[in-house]
Amino acid sequence: MTQEISDTAAAAAFRRLVTHLQHRHDAENIDLMGLAGFCRNCLADWVMEATNEAGGNMTKDEAREAIHGMPAAEWKKKYQSEATPEKLQLMQESIAKNASAS
C-alpha cells in the first residue's frame, strides 16, 4: 500500500526513477506504454497535475522537460523512433488495463 511509503522515501524513489528514465533513452515511451501502460509523458502529466493541485503552477512543457531532462521536442527528435503497428497495438492493450487502477 502506498500509505506505507513515507513522503521522503517516495520523493527519493521518484527522483531515482526520473534519473533512470533520463539515462535509458533506449526504453522508448511506446515500449513503456506497451509494457506498463505509462510513459515519461504520463509521468510528466502526473507531476504537472500534482504541482497545480498543490497550488503551484506548472505547464505541460515544463513538466515534460523536468522528466525528459530536456525539452520534449528535443528528446523526441533525438530518441523517438516511428511506432510500429505492433507496438501501437500493445500500447492500446496495455492502456486498457489502466482503467482498474484509477
* Torsion of Cα atoms, 51 then 69 then 75 then 98, to 10°: -40
* Torsion of Cα atoms, 46 then 70 then 26 then 77, to 10°: 110
What pLDDT score does 47 carry? 97
* Stretch 60-89: mean pLDDT: 96
Residue 21: count of CB within 10 angstroms of its CB? 18
| Average pLDDT score, the chain | 94
Whether residue 66 contacts residue 41, with contact meaning beta carbons closer than 8 Å, is answered with no
**Percent of the chain residues past pLDDT 90, beyond the cut:** 92
Higher pLDDT, 102 or 36: 36
Whether residue 66 contacts residue 44, with contact meaning beta carbons closer than 8 Å, is answered with yes
pTM, 2 dp? 0.87
Q: Cα(74)–Cα(6) distance, rounded to whole angstroms?
A: 34
For residue range 6-45, list pLDDT tens digits in order.
999 999 999 999 999 999 999 999 999 999 999 999 999 9
Band of pLDDT at residue 3, cut at 50, 70 and 90: confident
